[in-house]
Amino acid sequence: MNKLNILHLLTFPLYGSGSGTYARYLAEKTGKKHNVAILCPDNRQIPNTEVITFKMPFKVTFTSHPEWKNCKKFTELTPDQILDLHITYMRAAIKAVKYFKPNIIHVHHVFPFSWAARFIKSTYNIPYITTVHGSELPTAQVDKRYVALTTDALRKSRRVVPNSFYTRDWLFKIFTDDYRSQIRMVPGGVDIKKFHKVKTTEIDKKYDLKGKKIILFTGKLTKYKGVEFLVKAAQKIKGEVFILGDGPERKGLEKIAKEREIKNIRFLGHLGENMGELIQFYSRADVFVAPSIWDEPLGLVILEAMACETPVVVTRKGGIPLAVKDGKNGLFVRSRNATDIVEKVNRLLDNDQMRMKMGEQAKETIHKNFTWSLIAEKFNKYYEQFAV
């Protein structure tokens, strides 16, 4: 068939969040078959994709964003500010439509860009599909101002694609299930050509890691991520704990470490686009810990660590069990329980054979079910099925 023009609508930058990572890799992979563009508040270039930049009236997120310091939250906006955003998204999307002439639109997050996609479907007759990343759902759950327009947009979306079955069920609780027939679950993925076990000579030297056991967390430092419980566990963990990431909780976490005189923990902040160093950390870590206290849709950082043959210690929250199987490629811990984190992490650190076997099985899980090539094939079918 002829190449399609596929336009992604992304509310956040291309780096620093799960949705940015998701959109970036999906665009790159599907761009090998079709013409792909991303409309977003970012001007960095990515392979096989045209990046169309727009300027926001102000920066706003659902929880936080490491590249947008001290930005507003959607729950804090005044009605006039919501209107300003809505107009900005609408004008930017219509301008991109006139320029790129898409056959189909792919919206990331169920709001607010879906409102523009809904208008475009009505007036330009261009269909759209919507990926539910999950991070937008807590906002809509507590702030009902976003529910009505979003519910209508979901009804008109040709496919609504949550990244886990838990995300799907959570979506239904907030926005009803009138669009149940349009639902198809597709998880996030990993670029296994980039995320695989590599030599770690550079970071071993830079951070003096030779001969040490390494425990890793990477991600946004928000209360939902539960990093507080990893920090509190650190003192009894038989290795060095590295926290990669930034966010509103960082100062509080550093304060806990200082007050408790925890010597085996290091906060490195957000690595940004330094993908090489991040992959080295995934590869060098003996255990990756994701102690989420909320129903994590399915953290891409967990999948990335697994792709680098690192066993994971995670809470049984949200969509995480879709990838992690207790005792096979990782271990589950109870939420908000530092003692359980200590016990499970040390169990892996004390047993090299178990740890290596789980790491190999983690890699196999990713290669079998969570590569971007597999996921891109699924989305290409949707694009080809519904495009005009």
Q: Name the percent of the chain lying above pLDDT 70.
A: 99
Phi, psi of 51 (to 5 degrees): -95, 120
**Residue 38 region by backbone torsions, left for phi larger than 0, else alpha for psi between -120 and 50, else beta:** beta
Give pLDDT, residue 300.
84
What Cα–Cα distance (Å) separates residue 153 from each residue in 24, 116, 176?
A: 23, 9, 12
Beta-carbon contacts of residue 184 (< 8 Å; ≥ 6 apart): 159, 160, 161, 378, 382
Q: How far apart, in Å, do the first and last CA atoms of the chain sit?
A: 13
Give the tens place of pLDDT for each residue, 131-155. 999 999 999 999 999 999 999 999 9
Q: Residue 321 — very low, low, confident or very high, per pLDDT cuts 50/70/90?
A: confident
Q: Residue 228 — very low, low, confident or very high, per pLDDT cuts 50/70/90?
A: very high
Please tell me if the domain spanning 5-189+371-386 has the same topology as the one spanning 201-369: yes
What Cα–Cα distance (Å) separates residue 302 from each residue in 23, 61, 251, 291?
A: 17, 22, 24, 11
Give the tens place of pLDDT for each residue, 178-201. 999 999 999 888 989 999 999 999
Give pLDDT, residue 291.
93
Helices 79-100 and 113-124: angle between axes, nearest 10 degrees: 50
The ranges assigned to domains in the chain are 5-189+371-386, 201-369
Give pLDDT, residue 16.
85
- Which ranges in 235-299 belong to alpha helices (H)? 250-259, 275-284
The superfamily CATH assigns to domain 5-189+371-386 is: Glycogen Phosphorylase B; (3.40.50.2000)
Phi, psi of 60 (to 5 degrees): -150, 140
Q: What is the CA 243 to chain-centroid distance, rounded?
A: 17
Number of CB atoms found within 10 A of residue 100's CB: 18
Q: Residue 296 — very low, low, confident or very high, per pLDDT cuts 50/70/90?
A: low
Task: Provide the token pair at 33.
Answer: 């078959």
Assigned CATH topology for domain 201-369: Rossmann fold (3.40.50)
pTM: 0.85
> Which of 32, 18, 292 shows the shortest CA–CA distance to 131?
18
Residue 297 has pLDDT above 90, yes or no: no
DSSP states along 259-273: HTT--SEEEEE--TT
